[in-house]
Amino acid sequence: MDGMFETLFSPGLDTGAAQPLNEQLQAMLRQAILERRLPAGKRLPATRALAGRLDISRNTVLAAYEHLIAEGYLETRQGAGTFVSADLPDAALQIRAGPDAIRREALPPRAAKRPLSGMPALDQFPVDIWARLSGRVWRGARESQLLYNDPAGYLPLRQAIATYLEAARGVVADADQIIITSGIQQSFHLLAESVIPKDRTIILEDPGYPGMASAVRNLPHPVRFTPIDEDGVLPPTPGGKAGLLVVCPSRQYPLGHTMPLKRRLELLEWAKKEGSFLLEDDYDSEFRYAGRPINSLQGIDGGKCVIYSGSFSKSLFLALRLGYLIVPPEMTERLVRHRAAVDSFPSISNQILLTQFIEEGHFSRHIRRLRAVHKKRLSIFMTSAQKWLGQHFDFQKADTGLHVVAFCRAGRKLPPDTALSLIAGKAQLGASPLSESYHEAEARQGLLFGFANIAEREIDNRLKELAALLSQETGF
């Protein structure tokens, strides 16, 4: 056996490894051929000689050779032995740089990882019930549960959602108009890609949900931002031809205004004149702690130009990844077919589980319990926050949602809110920087404090700790 093979086969095979010896030998030879250490046409050692050299059985060598022959790396010539194939294209065998067919424009800076502020009281989630239903969904499984399903989502879940939203939010919709998605971001992306003409402008609230601003980035549509006032978003001023205005009338994100009826009707009037749709992002409307919620914009409009988006991320838990989109009937076909093309259909088992959770009354009970718990936590939070942090922040009165807005007091030399958010994290407080919700409008400094996912007895301690950390930081 020549020196080329002596080099190639030292230090030899690993008899202790999990990988079978014939596969080790194959990998060694394959690699050597691809890296041209064994050139095309090179004759391989006879099987008996190689078996002796490597101290393995001849059958092992035979198996490796045969496999590489089948793959085309090696070839036999009648009576002459085994050779590295002559007709492997040369260029493919060389080490090379990656393709240039890759987008290389710079990515926008990534936000620092911080605890999220918009969490419900996760300690109240009935994990035991969920676990029981989860096992049951599978114990009784029929074959249909394994197969292709409706790209619009599981029909009984869509029916349960229609019934719930009609009662809770005055939403007017048949199950046929509902499409189950993985949440607001997929809802929005599917909608914009399939339904809204690419030359129509998509308009977002400013300030508004930063996740929405990320979601528009890869769309072909022109995008612009539009300001809000105390009543929520203002009807956009003329400019471009609008296709979709994204609004949060129940509770403006991040500032928390509930949009009064008059403004709702003005927006509908604007949409009608403009020929634009409104996307009503009703992201946490379940959580109103005083009074009754105002009916959805979709219900006022009768579902003609308002598309309604909701999810179970806030009312159950974020990792469930089930949301929905309610669209006018003439939009359904286009949207569902686009979903089928780019995401097939949503996983079925969690949809069945959630349907049973709703139908057996667990969902309503859970929401009622959360409302009571959140209300109590909000009240404790506001008192403690005023006491410990009132010198640094103006806390905005809140009676809905999952976060409290705290504006930085102008006179105080506080660090930027992005830094404050990280400091709050050290005190185990989820607090998003307010400034990240601003796009073109002048950013205000502040924090969006999550209050709902902290046990009552912890709230005061954590706010006190944040106050201590801030006083170290600022000298006050």
Site string for its own copies, 398-437 (x = CB under 8 A): ----------------------------------------
What is the nearest approach in angstroms of its own copies to the Cβ of residue 412?
A: 31
- In b/e form, how buried is each residue of 112-139, taking b as 16+ CB within 10 angstroms? eebbebbbbbeeeeeeeebeebbeebee
Near its own copies in 215-234, by CB under 8 A: 215, 217-218, 220
CA distance 316 to 353: 12
Residue of 15, 110, 397, 457 interacting with its own copies (CB under 8 A):
110
The first and second tokens of residue 311, run together, are: 């999810």
**Nearest alpha carbon to residue 126 among 311, 289, 360, 380:** 360
Site string for its own copies, 17-56 (x = CB under 8 A): --x-------x--x---x----------------------
What is the nearest approach in angstroms of its own copies to the Cβ of residue 449?
A: 17
Interface with its own copies, residue 340, by CB under 8 A: yes
Residue of 38, 331, 447, 459 interacting with its own copies (CB under 8 A):
331
Interface with its own copies, residue 80, by CB under 8 A: no
Looking at the Cβ atoms of 13 and 271, the one nearer to its own copies is: 271
The first and second tokens of residue 429, run together, are: 């407080």
Residues in the chain: 476
- Which residues are within 8 A (CB) of 78 and not within 5 positions of it... i.e. 6 or more apart? none
Q: Which stretch binds its own copies (CB under 8 A): 5-13, 343-351, 364-372, 389-397?
A: 343-351
Interface with its own copies, residue 381, by CB under 8 A: no
Looking at the Cβ atoms of 256 and 346, the one nearer to its own copies is: 346
CB 466 within 8 A of CB 420: no
CA distance 53 to 74: 20
Interface with its own copies, residue 164, by CB under 8 A: no
Residue 285: DSSP 8-state: T
Residue of 41, 57, 59, 261 interacting with its own copies (CB under 8 A):
261
- Which residues are within 8 A (CB) of 218 and not within 5 positions of it... i.e. 6 or more apart? none
What is the nearest approach in angstroms of its own copies to the Cβ of residue 438?
A: 18
CA distance 391 to 124: 33
Q: Which residue matches tokens 């927006």?
A: 267
Site string for its own copies, 118-157 (x = CB under 8 A): -x--xx-x-xx-xxx-xx-xxx-x-x-xxxxx--------
Residue of 80, 92, 290, 410 interacting with its own copies (CB under 8 A):
92
Residue of 5, 9, 65, 73 interacting with its own copies (CB under 8 A):
73
Near its own copies in 275-294, by CB under 8 A: 275-277, 291-292, 294
Site string for its own copies, 180-199 (x = CB under 8 A): --xx-xx--x---xxxxx--
Interface with its own copies, residue 322, by CB under 8 A: yes
Element (H, E) at 336: helix 329-343
Triad 260, 204, 447: Cα angle to 5°: 75
CA distance 71 to 443: 62
Give residue 363's Cα distance to chain centre. Answer: 23
Interface with its own copies, residue 268, by CB under 8 A: yes
Give residue 325's Cα distance to chain centre. Answer: 16
